[in-house]
Structure 1
């Protein structure tokens, strides 16, 4: 019984951690895009 609860909690934790990694990756991609656009604009201004 307790073993099942523990295993269920572990699966939940893995799901959450996977979602968190996905979000982190999206944020990183977004930041890379902003940096790219910013750099292009700076070279355009200069």
Structure 2
């Protein structure tokens, strides 16, 4: 086995996760105690994907 094959083996049994939505992002952002005046949100995702 080489490189990325180890990652595939590790993740193949995990449940698939779908993307969130704008409402979830807003809820997460407004949970920040002192958000920046001009925020920039980068959603790079996580989990095994869809």
**Fold conserved between structures, TM > 0.5:** no
Q: Which has the higher helix share?
A: 1
TM-score with structure 1 length normalisation? 0.28
- Structure of larger gyration radius: 1
More relative contact order, 1 or 2 (CA 8 Å, 6+ apart): 2
Q: What is the TM-score with the length of structure 2 in the denominator?
A: 0.26
